[in-house]
Every structure is written in C-alpha cells, then in structure tokens.
Amino acid sequence: MQTAAGRERWNRALDAASDAALAICLFTTFSFQHTLVSTTGMGLMLLVALVRFAVRPRFYGSVWYLGYALVIAWGAVGVLAGWAIEPATALAMCKTMCVGLGFMLVVHQLVVQRRNAEMSLLMCLLACLATMAYALIGERENLFETRVGSAVNIYPNDLAMILSIGYGVAIHRACERRRWYELIPALLLAGTVLLTGSRKGMAMLVLIPAVYLLWRDRRHLRRNLLVLAALLIALAAAVLCIPPLYQVIGVRFVELFRTVFGGAETEGSYLERMSLLRQAWAMFLERPLTGWGLDCYRFNGVTRETYSHNNYIELLVSGGVPALLLFYVPLLMELVRAARRAGRNAAVRLVVTVAAGQMLMELLLVTYYERPQLVPIALLLGVSRLMRRGGDERDGTALWTYLKNPRRLFVPLAMRGL
C-alpha cells in the first residue's frame, strides 16, 4: 500500500510539474520569443518531458512532423544548390525551423503524456492571460493611444493571434462548465485583442465562437445564431462608437472600407500588402519549383525589406510548390482526421476550430517559422491524439518495439515477397 501511495504522490507531482512547465514555456514563447528567457522556458519543458519519458516511455509521432522536416531539408537543398539568393539567411531560417520543430514535438509529447486535455488547455489559457497582462503593463502609459504590443516587442497582429487562442479556450470552458465567471477571461482577452488594432484578431473573435458553437450544439441553431449576431453587433458598436477603440482599430476598418469599395487610396497598409503580394507572385512565377530560398523574399530589391504577409505565397517564394505542399498537405490530413473523429468531444472541436481559423488568417500572415503560431498545431496534434487513443497503454510504443527488434520492420515486406 505504501508503494502504491508513493507512486500516486509521484504521479500527482509529475502532473503538477508538467502543467507548470507547459504554462511557463508557452508564456515565455509568447512574450519573449528568440530570447534567453524563451530558451530557458523551452529547456524547462524539455526537462519535464524527458522525466515523463523516463517514467513512461512513449513517443507520439505525426505525418505533420515529416512534412515540416522535409520543408527544412528542402530549404537546406536550396542553400547547397545555390537557389537561395541569401544563403546565410536561408540557413539561419533552417536552424530556426529546427528549433520550432523540436518545440512542437515536446509540446505534443507533454500534452499526450499528461493525459488530461482540459488541464493542458487551461495551462494555455493561463499563458495567454499572463501574456495579456505583460503587454498591458508594458503599454500602460500609452494605452488607447497606440496598438498594444509594440512597447513589449510583440507585433500587434501576432499578439492578437496569440490571445485569440486563449479566447477560444475560455469560450470552450464557459460552454463546458456553464458558469458565468468563466466568461471573464474571454471578455478580457477580447478587449485586449481589440486594443491591438488587429483586424485579423477581430475576425478571429467572431470566427472562433461561430464555428465552435454551431459545431458543438447543432440542436439550438437559432439560439446560437442570435448569440453570434449579438456578438457581431457588440464588436461593431465597440470599435465604432467607443472613441479610444475607434482610434486604435475602428478607423482602420473605415479606411479599409473606403479604399476597397470607395476607390480612395487612404489605407496604406492595404495598398502596401497588395504591392508585396504582387511582387511575391511575380517571383514565384519565375521559379515555381525551387523558390528563392527560405526567408529570402525580403531581399527582392523592389519592396522594402519585409515578408509578403501571406503564408501560402511566402512558402511558394521560399521553396516553390514543394514547400507549400510539404507544409500544408500533412496539416490538412491531420485537421481532417481530427474533425472526422471528433465525435462529441468538445476539446477536439475547439483545437480543430482554432487551427482552421489560423489557417484562414494565414492568407494575411506569415507564420510557418513562428513558434507562437505553431502552438495551435501542437494542440491539435496532442489533444486529438489523446482523445483518439489516450486510453490505450500501447499507444506510443511502436517505435520502441521496432528498435528492440529491427527485423520486425522487414516482416511485412517479406510477406509480400519483397
């Protein structure tokens, strides 16, 4: 009995350490990307994941990892073959993506090993709330005067996408627990997203609850549509009628509307992005198969040194059609499989919704190498795997089975006469 009790205490302590490591790593990744603080957070999470692996040896893979690794390899081939117009930059991006791949892998392992999807989602929510508080404190002197995020070196659009993950988790918890105070984090996060001035973030504020609620509860379609209509009206009223919000984000919508539908060239951001996309498309047509090297679009010599603001076209410019297919085909496979097998599991529906929403927003963002934007994919892989096979103790043992007896790998080939 003492042994069993001691093992139970050890498991509880390990679960608590896993939760804390996940929350700390996500917070440092969101708030201090590419710094020593972020590296320390990742190291802590890796240490806990290794301890969990030593206690319960399991490895969970995904076809997405293979695709992402092949994108990195294709980028390295571009450097060696001379396709990259800035080899040093392309090689540095390969290294950055390798770190991102390791980050994704460890988050995935930790979520599945923890075997509690709701707790992992809660840790993600806490990390988003901590990031929100950090950004607001850093912007306290200029709040309502400038877009939140800049003062703490977080690009406002990136901050909005990060906070939208926590916003989705908060809505999920409110629907599951049915307690009014569970909506408080969602309201705080939504308000901060508006303060970032990100139109993509505001779109996510509508898109996530729309897809999640309509998918989660199809029996009360009319009620859910009314809730979503009320949300849309409330957001529109807030950004157009509250002066501080209008100065941060409302005026950007008005100028965009005038530029697109009125012919007035007043929205500089829209005009510049269209110019960047035209240049990127022209570059892709010149090298549709090889591209110009990872992260090399910004050296095109025509536009200012920046990215194309479209993840799909950025991949086409960086590595041609192969890079785009290697990145998105495995992701679509995982997304479709998770959606088809979600059943009545609300957590899986949430991660599918958030990942699909980000894929849509990637028409206006470049995310393929950014670790914060890889988090929805890690949650998709982890939560869907956990809900699909989390009760099977043999799940995650296939690799070790083959390593112990490598000849078993060739048995299926021998049976087919190969």
Chain centroid to Cα 110, Å, comes to: 16
Q: If we measure between CA atoms, which residue out of 342, 337, 347, 389 comes closest to residue 112?
A: 389
Chain centroid to Cα 232, Å, comes to: 24
- pTM reported for the whole predicted model: 0.89
Give the CA angle between residues 386, 388, 393 to the nearest 5°. 65
Q: pLDDT (tens digit, 9 = 90+) per residue, 73-91?
A: 999 999 999 999 999 999 9
Query: If you average pLDDT over every residue of the chain, what do you get?
Result: 87
Q: pLDDT (tens digit, 9 = 90+) per residue, 264-302?
A: 555 567 677 888 889 999 999 999 999 999 999 988 877
**Overall average pLDDT of the 358-374 stretch:** 92
**Helix 117-138 crosses helix 156-177 at what angle (to 10 degrees)?**
140
**Overall average pLDDT of the 147-164 stretch:** 91
Which pLDDT belongs to residue 403?
57
- Give the range among 310-324, 342-356, 359-373, 398-412 with minimum mean pLDDT: 398-412
Q: How long, in residues, is the chain?
A: 418
- Tokens for 43, please give them: 């190291």
Residues 316 and 74: their CA atoms lie apart, in Å, by: 12
Q: Residue 150 — very low, low, confident or very high, per pLDDT cuts 50/70/90?
A: confident
**How many Cβ atoms are within 10 Å of 152's Cβ, its own excluded?**
16
Per residue, what are the HEC states of the chain?
A: CHHHHHHHHHHHHHHHHHHHHHHHHHHHHHHCCCCHHHHHHHHHHHHHHHHHHHHCCCCCCCHHHHHHHHHHHHHHHHHHHCCCCCHHHHHHHHHHHHHHHHHHHHHHHHHHHHCCHHHHHHHHHHHHHHHHHHHHHHCHHHCCCCCCCHHHCCCHHHHHHHHHHHHHHHHHHHHHHCCHHHHHHHHHHHHHHHHCCCHHHHHHHHHHHHHHHHHHCCCCHHHHHHHHHHHHHHHHHHHHHCHHHHHHHHHHHHHHHHHHHHCCCCCHHHHHHHHHHHHHHHHHHHCCCCCCCCCCHHHCCCCCCCCCCCHHHHHHHHHHHHHHHHHHHHHHHHHHHHHHCCCCCHHHHHHHHHHHHHHHHCCCCCCCCCHHHHHHHHHHHHHHHHHHHCCCCCCCCHHHHHHHCHHHHHHHHHHCCC
**Overall average pLDDT of the 344-359 stretch:** 94
Chain centroid to Cα 249, Å, comes to: 23
Residues 401 and 41: their CA atoms lie apart, in Å, by: 32
Instruction: Report the first-to-last Cα separation within the chain, whole angstroms.
Output: 53
pLDDT at 199 over 80: yes
Q: Residue 344 — very low, low, confident or very high, per pLDDT cuts 50/70/90?
A: confident
Domain ranges within the chain, ordered by starting residue? 63-415
Q: Residue 272, exposed/middle/buried by CB under 10 A (0-12, 13-18, 19+)? A: middle
Residues 273 and 314: their CA atoms lie apart, in Å, by: 13
Backbone angles phi, psi at 146, to 5 degrees: -140, 170
What sign does the CA torsion over 13, 16, 22, 25 have? Answer: negative
pLDDT at 392 over 70: no
* Contact (CB, 8 A) for 77 and 293: no
